[in-house]
Homo-oligomer: A and B are copies of this chain.
Amino acid sequence: MELWLEQLKERFTDKFSYRKDILEKYAKDAWLFSHNPDGVFFPESKEDVIELMRFAYSKGVYVTARGGGRGYVGGAVPVKGGVVISFERMNRIKEIHPVDSVAVVEPGVITGVLQEKVKEMGLFYPPDPASIMECTIGGNVATNAGGPRCLKYGVTRNYVLGLEVILADGSVARVGGRTIKNKTGFDLTGLFVGSEGMLGLVTEITLRLISKPPFRAALSAYFEKMDQAILCINHVLSSGIMPSALEIADRFTLNCAREFTKEEIPPFDAHLLLEVDGSEAAVNADIDFFAKLLRSFSPRNLSKALGEEQCEKLWQTRRLFSASLKASGLTKLNEDVTVPRSRLADLIGLGEHLQKEFNLTVACFGHAGDGNIHVNLMVDWTKVENRKKAEKALDLLFDSVLSWNGSITGEHGIGIAKLPWWGKALSRESRLVHEKIKRCLDPKGILNPGKFV
């Protein structure tokens, strides 16, 4: 046992653990790879975090922050050991202010819990990652989490007004504030959001809330051919009316969902889910407009959901897509690539090509309106030759996406899963700027080491 571990245990008693089962529990996220930390820290206040960071800074101990552990790229995996900080005990909602329309929360608050709480007060926190009942606001901030509703409402960064950040040396920086607009200096708040725990540790988050739209409605439509669905998407997005969500799923995803949920899901090439929210009168008008628009693309089944309950029923199935794919027994490599909208058809076509070329199953679903499609390579991971095939397929996928001016990650981040393509995704100069910023804020490189900087 190393001395520094003993020291931390003595100082923090039940807030610190190096029990083997605990180390293993905090060694991985929702991705494949795991690496045990040397210890796990459960702070209960910002003072705890400050003390830990002062200690870590002086001894050069690595520190990796962890939210709900629902990330898809190994971002919270402590690849070089050291201490994992789990914020699960810092889960207080400190304030919800209806007139100011802000919430002040600790990082360990479950996103879905906050959403329910503000909804009761007629307020709305839009970001809605699929793991909403398990992920935390702190994790959402670290990864700049998205979700279907981000098409209309924007991603996590658009809702973070201010942060309390503990820097690598244990000093406390308050950045941003409590107002919607703030031009006081550089956008440090935006810089910390999405920085994957590599620039500082967030201990308090001030979130912008908006007023809850009183009504919602949705359309579910199946198409015999994927091309029809994509053409339809482009027409929807050039209508001048912004849907609150516009989701697509392909045949394989639908098949798995049918198997898993036992619902009657027809066997077609593509499914679209479109939602609109606002006043009841406006929503009724707009959903009829979109129904008419969709009908002109000859969907095979078109159904309309009106109001919260009916809409949620449609979304329940959608939210289970990921679990449905996993239930196939294969390992799911979920690649959240994003392409300019004119390349959506190319991306789906590439999915089909990968399927044939590498004899892998590829399932595509996701946020079509954003061009952000989750391309899932379904691999029997027990066989080495399959892993190699998957690696080659991923190479081709990312190379193609980059050649189309797309991004290799739209929501999940780089973590370790996308690290092999980091050098390709950004120019040398851009990577250099990343390194400079990392070095000036974390000169000893102790925050989430072994990642992209």
Q: Enumerate chain A interface residues (CB-CB to B < 8 A).
A: 97-102, 122, 124, 143-144, 146, 150, 154-155, 157-158, 167, 171-175, 177-188, 190-191, 193-195, 199, 210-214, 234, 237-242, 278-279, 281-283, 285-286, 289, 336, 338-342, 367, 370-372, 405-414, 422, 425-427, 429-434, 436-437, 439-441, 452
Kindly report how many copies of this chain are found in the complex they form together. 2
Determine the distance from Cα of A205 to Cα of B312 in the docked complex, in whole angstroms.
39
B338 touches A179 (CB 8 A): yes
Cα of A292 to Cα of B146 in the assembled complex, Å = 36
- B370, A181: Cβ atoms closer than 8 Å: yes
Partner of A372, one of B180, B405, B437: B180
The reply to whether A185 and B452 contact each other, CB–CB distance below 8 Å, is: yes
B contact residues around A340 at 8 Å (CB): 97, 99-100, 102, 178-179
Assembled-state Cα–Cα distance A426/B239 (Å): 43
Determine the chain B residues whose CB is within 8 A of the CB of A371 once the complex forms.
179-181
Chain B residues in 8 Å Cβ range of A242: 210-211
Please tell me which one of the listed residues B174, B214, B412 contacts residue A427 in the complex, with CB atoms under 8 A apart: B174
> What separation, in Å, do the CA atoms of A181 and B371 have in the docked complex?
8
Subset of 17 A-B contacts with CB under 8 Å: A98-B238, A122-B238, A122-B240, A173-B427, A177-B405, A179-B371, A179-B372, A180-B371, A182-B410, A183-B411, A184-B408, A187-B193, A190-B191, A211-B240, A278-B286, A279-B289, A439-B440
Partner of A407, one of B167, B182, B187, B211: B182
**A210 nearest CB across to chain B (Å):** 7
Given A241-B278, A286-B278, A338-B179, also A433-B429 (CB < 8 A): no
A240-B241 Cα distance, complex, nearest whole Å: 17
Residues of B within 8 A of A283 (CB): 282
In contact, A338 and B211 (Cβ under 8 angstroms) = no
Chain B residues lying within 8 Å of A144, measured Cβ to Cβ, are 183, 187
- Return chain B residues, CB-CB under 8 Å to A336: 183
User: For the complex, what is the distance from the CA of A430 to the CA of B192, rounded to whole Å?
Assistant: 12
Are A182 and B341 in contact, with the CB atoms below 8 A?
Answer: no
* Structural contact, B186 and A199, CB atoms closer than 8 A: yes
In contact, A183 and B410 (Cβ under 8 angstroms): yes
B426 in contact with A184 (CB, 8 Å) = yes
Q: Which of A195, A234, A281, A408 has the most CB of B within 10 A?
A: A281
Partner of A183, one of B143, B241, B434: B143
User: In this complex, which of A186, A191, A195, A432 has the most chain B Cβ atoms within 10 angstroms of its Cβ?
Assistant: A186
User: Per a CB cutoff under 8 Å, which of B188, B341, B432 touches A101?
Assistant: B341
